[in-house]
């Protein structure tokens, strides 16, 4: 078991004919993901040659779903067109949309979230590395080889920090059930609580690492939810403790405003709800291991 | 992106959000002629910088005649204002806004921004206007009304009435307030603003409801579809190193420490600053070189890092996924040679092709310090700085 994606996942890549889309589609395919099609408007009928496999390209997501029974889409479409691409995938009956694209205007994502409200469609991202169930299915831009199948779920707002945590776990012989980069944007799809709910009912997952950063209050919400509902051990790290107030640190999400959103407040909230918070990013793996003994 | 008050007021006028009559001046002569065109007893001369707290810092002067407006402008232009938002170095005044002055009978607070937990735009309104709203939020949160807007249908008149009544702006003020609120919403959405803040919104002695101050920030990701707003960018208000970095696709923020950082990924870059601090050092900057840094970008990054005279050592922390460690190491070696870097460079490399990467550093003949772990590297760089000092 795992959450969100597994060996049966059938993936399409929207924007497969672009350089990033093509490169990462091939990486996913080489990892073992069932990549069944690509979508680029007006490039339907073409074939993309990836790792000696021929992947068909369709004009629309609807057509790709009908022809290939795809159920998950990964989006590499440029930012000005990415919101439209997400909505197209949702309309075509895709169950899980993983939006890698960074730089999507916030208002576009506000509209997307409103349109997805009340539907069963799950969105991860945007501005995220994607999701991986080690050994079974990789969707996104994370380096596959650092992962290893196992009992730890990883949820993170930051890409490279996720890799860092995974690396610390794998190099200590601890594998992962599913790792999700939820992205650094202020308005995004699934958040900590949504994924913690899934990890709670996943029998493979025995413990979870949560990696947050300054800005917003998703970590505080997660802390409260963990206290009331989550039965497995949780370790956490919050990046940005030393970031100057009011400055944007690369992720649109990482803006501290006023008293809330600071690393200190988040760490306090997590610790008061029974989460073990790593003092430095070098200790994420050790902190979790300490809980699992 | 931030803009000046006078620019925000230009946008307000375009959207029918009432503001005082006035115009921007960069010389006393211009100020005098704008003041002469105003029919008013009191003239406000307001310094235009990208920071709040101007009044307390002496950046706003109230005068009676056009001649006095010219004199006040002469005093303000070129002056460096230090407010609680500018940092200790302050900001230099280059322009002033000359406005018909008004004496507020009542002051309010009104803003709109994205509430991320709801994923919707939301108005914030308070009867406590003209003061620091964060202080109000901390001390008496019940005095702040939050009104989220469904983005599918936009702000509705009933919502604007709800805010107006909460502010005590019913009766003769109702329609003007409702119009103002609905127009603020339209401006927010249509310009891809990330914040519109009116503090204070006032009722003046002639019972007019209008925006006495105006602040607008914009979503950088949406600037591509607003050329007119892009043109309002004032590079004088930005750190030249940050401007330079953005030209090369690097995300740089200057700080005041001695350890320069070069990292891939925003989260890891923040975490690197944290671990330097934890080890007892002080980061000189935040720098995210992104996921696919080329040798050219790395050279530009070094240039920017070394332009900071406080820098005594460089800490490179890379988790190579897509960005292969051997390629990065080659780029660092080449850049260090070309630029003849003399300060110690501490690297912590992990990820794809890490062994090859370390070999390239070792055989380069250059003096790199390599930490096996992030913690070890942070300790190394802090030590390098204290030895050098």
Give the model confidence (pLDDT) of B162-181 as tens digits: 999 999 999 999 999 999 99
Q: Give the Cα separation of B97 and B5 in Å (integer).
A: 8
Q: Give the Cα separation of A96 and A74 in Å (integer).
A: 9
Q: Is A190 exposed, middle or buried (0-12, 13-18, 19+ CB in 10 A)?
A: buried
Could you give the 3-state DSSP secondary structure of residue B10?
helix
Check CB contact under 8 Å for A164 and B189.
Answer: no
Token pair 């460079």 in the structure block, residue: B345
- Per-residue confidence at A246, pLDDT binned at 50, 70, 90? low
Strand partners, A230: none
Edge-first strand listing for the sheet containing A234-239: A137-140, A130-133, A176-181, A149-156, A207-213, A234-239, A276-277
SS3 letters across chain A: CCCCCCCCCEEEEECCCCHHHHHHHHHHHHHCCEEEEEECCCCCCCEEEECCEEEEEECCHHHHHHHHCCCEEEECCCHHHHHHHHHHHHHCCCCEEEECCCCCCHHHHHHHHHHHCCCCCEEECCCCCEEEECCCEEEECCCHHHCCEEEEEEEECCHHHHHHHHHHHHCCCCCEEEEEECCCCCCCCCCHHHHHHHHHHCCCCCEEEEEEECCCCHHHHHHHHHHHHCCCCEEEEEECCCCCCCCCCCCCCCCCECCECCHHHHHHHHHHCCCEECCCHHHHHHHHHHHHC
Scan residues 163-182 of B and list those with Cβ closer than 8 Å to A.
Answer: none
Q: Which residues of A touch B381 (CB under 8 A)?
A: none
- Per-residue confidence at A8, pLDDT binned at 50, 70, 90? very high
CA distance A244 to chain B (A): 8
Residue B134 in this model has a pLDDT that exceeds 80: no
- Per-residue confidence at A257, pLDDT binned at 50, 70, 90? very low
Q: Which residues of B touch A248 (CB under 8 A)?
A: 253
Main-chain dihedrals φ then ψ at residue A264, nearest 5 degrees:
-60, -45
Q: Give the Cα separation of A154 and B280 in Å (integer).
A: 29
Could you give the 3-state DSSP secondary structure of residue B58?
coil
What residues have CB less than 8 Å from B260, skipping those under 6 apart?
Answer: B283, B284, B285, B287, B305, B306, B308, B311, B313, B314, B315
Residues A92-121 have a mean pLDDT of 96
CA distance B135 to chain A (A): 9
Residue B127 in this model has a pLDDT that exceeds 80: yes
Give the side-chain half-sphere CA count within 13 A for B130.
Answer: 12
Residues B107-122 have a mean pLDDT of 92
CA distance A26 to chain B (A): 13
- CA torsion, ordered B377, B383, B386, B389, to nearest 10 deg: -80
Mutation pick from A101, A160, A253 vs chain B, by most beta carbons of B within 10 Å, is: A160
**Tens of pLDDT, residues B244-294:** 888 888 889 888 899 999 998 888 999 999 999 999 999 999 998 876 677
Q: Which residues of A touch B219 (CB under 8 A)?
A: 105-107, 252
Q: What are the structure tokens assigned to A256, written together?
A: 């501290």
- CA torsion, ordered B339, B340, B344, B347, to nearest 10 deg: 50
Edge-first strand listing for the sheet containing B285-288: B251-254, B285-288, B259-263, B313-320, B345-351, B368-370
What residues have CB less than 8 Å from B38, skipping those under 6 apart?
Answer: B21, B22, B98, B99, B100
Distance of CA B354 to the CA centre of its chain: 37
- Among residues A249, A275, A276, the alpha carbon closest in space to that of A262 is found at A249
Q: Which residues of B touch A246 (CB under 8 A)?
A: 85
Q: Which of A157, A232, A251, A266 is catalytic?
A: A251
- Among residues B346, B347, B371, B325, the alpha carbon closest in space to that of A143 is found at B325
DSSP assigned state of B233 = -
Q: Which of B5, B32, B99, B109 is catalytic?
A: B109
CA nearest to B282 within chain A: A242
Q: Which one of B117, B286, B319 has the shortest CB-CB distance to A249?
A: B286
ipTM value greater than 0.85: yes
Residue A251 in this model has a pLDDT that exceeds 60: no
Which of the two residues, A161 and B246, has the higher pLDDT score? A161
Q: What are the structure tokens assigned to B66, written together?
A: 């056009």
Q: Give the Cα separation of B262 and B257 in Å (integer).
A: 14
In this complex, is the C-beta atom of B114 within 8 Å of any C-beta atom belonging to chain A?
yes
Per DSSP (E only), the strands in B149-211 are 193-204, 209-211
Q: Which one of B116, B189, B275 has the shortest CB-CB distance to A281?
A: B275
What residues have CB less than 8 Å from B10, skipping those under 6 apart?
Answer: none
Q: Which one of A162, A251, A259 has the shortest CB-CB distance to B138?
A: A259
Q: What are the structure tokens assigned to B153, written together?
A: 């249908």
Residue A111 in this model has a pLDDT that exceeds 70: yes
Q: What is the pLDDT of residue B339?
A: 85
Q: Which residues of A touch B194 (CB under 8 A)?
A: 106
- Per-residue confidence at A247, pLDDT binned at 50, 70, 90? low
Strands A130-133 and A234-239: unpaired
- Own/partner contacts of B171-180, CB < 8 Å, gap of 24 or more, are B172/B207, B173/B203, B173/B207, B173/B209, B176/B18, B176/B208, B176/B209, B177/B209, B179/B16, B180/B17, B180/B18, B180/B209, B180/B210, B180/B211
Could you give the 3-state DSSP secondary structure of residue B119?
coil
In this complex, is the C-beta atom of B153 within 8 Å of any C-beta atom belonging to chain A?
no
Check CB contact under 8 Å for B319 and A221.
Answer: no
Q: What are the structure tokens assigned to B308, written together?
A: 């900071």
Q: Which one of B220, B225, B267 has the shortest CB-CB distance to A157?
A: B267
Q: Give the Cα separation of A54 and B272 in Å (integer).
A: 42
Strand partners, B254: B285
Token pair 């945007």 in the structure block, residue: A126
Residue B386 in this model has a pLDDT that exceeds 90: no
Q: What are the structure tokens assigned to B131, written together?
A: 């003061």
Residue B329 in this model has a pLDDT that exceeds 80: yes
Active site residue B128: no
Task: Return the sign of the alpha-carbon dihedral for residues A43, A45, A51, A52.
Answer: negative
Q: What are the structure tokens assigned to A63, written together?
A: 């057509």
Q: What is the pLDDT of residue B245?
A: 86
Q: Give the Cα separation of B120 and B112 in Å (integer).
A: 10
DSSP assigned state of B302 = H
Q: Is A264 exposed, middle or buried (0-12, 13-18, 19+ CB in 10 A)?
A: exposed
- Per-residue confidence at A259, pLDDT binned at 50, 70, 90? very low
Q: What is the pLDDT of residue A293?
A: 73
Q: Give the Cα separation of A196 and B139 in Å (integer).
A: 33
Indicate the average pLDDT of chain B. Answer: 91
**Tens of pLDDT, residues B176-213:** 999 999 999 999 999 999 999 999 999 998 999 999 99
Q: What is the pLDDT of residue B388?
A: 54
Residue B22 in this model has a pLDDT that exceeds 80: yes
**Omega before B83 within 30 of 0, i.e. cis:** no
Q: Which residues of B touch A164 (CB under 8 A)?
A: 268, 271, 319, 350, 374
- CA torsion, ordered A192, A195, A199, A201, to nearest 10 deg: 120
Which of A250-259, B130-139, B251-260, B316-325 is the least confident region? A250-259
Element (H, E) at B269: helix B266-278
Check CB contact under 8 Å for A251 and B352.
Answer: no
Q: Give the Cα separation of A208 and A87 in Å (integer).
A: 31
- Per-residue confidence at A249, pLDDT binned at 50, 70, 90? low
- Among residues A236, A226, A206, A235, the alpha carbon closest in space to that of A273 is found at A226
Residue B9 in this model has a pLDDT that exceeds 70: yes
Check: CB of residue B328 under 8 Å from CB of residue B357: yes
CA distance B343 to chain A (A): 24
Q: What are the structure tokens assigned to A211, written together?
A: 């990696």
Residues B36-46 have a mean pLDDT of 93
Question: What is the distance in angstroms between the CA of the first residue and the CA of the last residue of chain A?
Answer: 22
Residues A95-113 have a mean pLDDT of 96
Residues B34-57 have a mean pLDDT of 91
Q: Which one of A103, A143, A254 has the shortest CB-CB distance to B266?
A: A254
Strands B215-218 and B259-263: unpaired
Q: Which residues of B touch A142 (CB under 8 A)?
A: 321
Q: What is the pLDDT of residue A84?
A: 98
A274: left (phi over 0), alpha (psi -120 to 50) or beta: left
């Amino acid at each position: 078991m795992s959450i969100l994606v597994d060996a049966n996942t059938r993936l399409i890549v929207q924007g497969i004919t672009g350089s990033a889309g093509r490169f990462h589609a091939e990486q996913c395919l080489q990892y073992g993901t069932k990549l069944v099609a690509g979508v680029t408007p007006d490039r339907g009928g073409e074939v993309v040659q990836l790792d000696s496999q021929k992947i068909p390209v369709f004009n629309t997501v609807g057509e790709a779903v009908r022809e290939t029974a795809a159920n998950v889409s990964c989006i590499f479409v440029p930012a000005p067109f990415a919101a439209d691409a997400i909505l197209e995938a949702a309309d075509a009956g895709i169950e899980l949309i993983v939006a890698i694209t960074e730089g999507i205007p916030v208002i576009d994502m506000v509209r997307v979230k409103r349109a997805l409200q009340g539907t069963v469609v799950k969105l991860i991202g945007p501005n995220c590395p994607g999701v991986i169930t080690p050994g079974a299915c990789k969707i996104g831009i994370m380096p596959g080889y650092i992962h290893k199948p196992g009992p730890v779920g990883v949820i993170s707002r930051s890409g490279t920090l996720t890799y860092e945590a995974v690396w610390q776990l794998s190099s200590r012989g601890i594998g992962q059930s599913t790792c999700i980069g939820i992205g650094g944007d202020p308005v995004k799809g699934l958040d900590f609580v949504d994924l913690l709910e899934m990890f709670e009912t996943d029998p493979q997952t025995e413990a979870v690492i949560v990696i947050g950063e300054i800005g917003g209050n998703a970590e505080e919400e997660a802390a409260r939810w963990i206290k009331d509902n989550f039965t497995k051990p949780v370790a956490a790290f919050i990046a940005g403790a030393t970031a100057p107030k009011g400055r944007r640190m690369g992720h649109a999400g990482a803006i501290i405003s006023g008293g809330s959103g600071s690393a200190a407040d988040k760490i306090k909230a997590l610790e008061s709800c029974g989460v073990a918070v790593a003092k430095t990013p070098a200790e994420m793996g050790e902190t979790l291991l300490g809980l699992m003994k | 992106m931030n803009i000046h008050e006078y620019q925000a007021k230009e946008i307000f006028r375009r959207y029918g959000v009432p503001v005082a009559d006035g115009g921007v001046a960069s010389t006393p002569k211009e100020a005098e002629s704008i003041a002469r065109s105003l029919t008013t007893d009191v003239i406000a001369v307001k310094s235009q910088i990208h920071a709040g707290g101007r009044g307390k810092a002496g950046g706003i002067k109230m005068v009676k005649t056009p001649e006095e407006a010219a004199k006040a402008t002469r005093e303000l232009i070129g002056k460096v204002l230090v407010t609680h938002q500018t940092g200790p170095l302050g900001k230099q005044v280059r322009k002033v806004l000359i406005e018909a002055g008004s004496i507020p009978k009542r002051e309010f607070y009104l803003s709109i921004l994205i509430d991320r937990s709801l994923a919707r735009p939301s108005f914030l309104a308070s009867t406590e206007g003209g003061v620091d709203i964060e202080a109000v939020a901390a001390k008496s949160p019940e005095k702040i009304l939050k009104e989220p807007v469904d983005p599918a249908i936009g702000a509705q008149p009933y919502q604007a009435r709800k805010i107006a009544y909460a502010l005590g702006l019913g009766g003769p003020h109702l329609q003007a307030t409702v119009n103002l609120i609905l127009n603020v919403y339209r401006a927010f959405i249509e310009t891809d603003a990330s914040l519109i803040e009116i503090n204070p919104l006032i009722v003046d002695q002639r019972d007019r409801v209008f925006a006495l101050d105006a602040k607008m920030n914009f979503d950088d990701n949406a600037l591509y579809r607003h050329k007119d707003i892009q043109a309002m960018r004032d590079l004088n208000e930005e750190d030249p190193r940050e401007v330079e970095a953005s030209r090369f696709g690097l995300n740089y923020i200057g700080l005041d420490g001695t350890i320069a950082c070069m990292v891939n990924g925003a989260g890891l870059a923040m975490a690197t600053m944290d671990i330097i601090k934890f080890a007892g050092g002080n980061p000189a900057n935040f720098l995210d070189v992104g996921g696919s840094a080329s040798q050219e970008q790395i050279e530009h990054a070094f240039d920017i890092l070394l332009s900071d005279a406080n820098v005594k050592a460089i800490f490179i922390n890379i988790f190579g996924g897509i960005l292969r460690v051997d390629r990065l190491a080659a780029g660092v070696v080449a850049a260090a040679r070309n630029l003849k870097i003399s300060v110690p460079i501490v690297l912590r490399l992990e990820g794809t092709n890490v062994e090859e990467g370390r070999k390239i550093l070792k055989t380069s003949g250059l003096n790199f310090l390599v930490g096996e772990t992030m913690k070890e590297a942070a300790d190394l760089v802090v030590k390098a700085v204290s030895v050098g000092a």
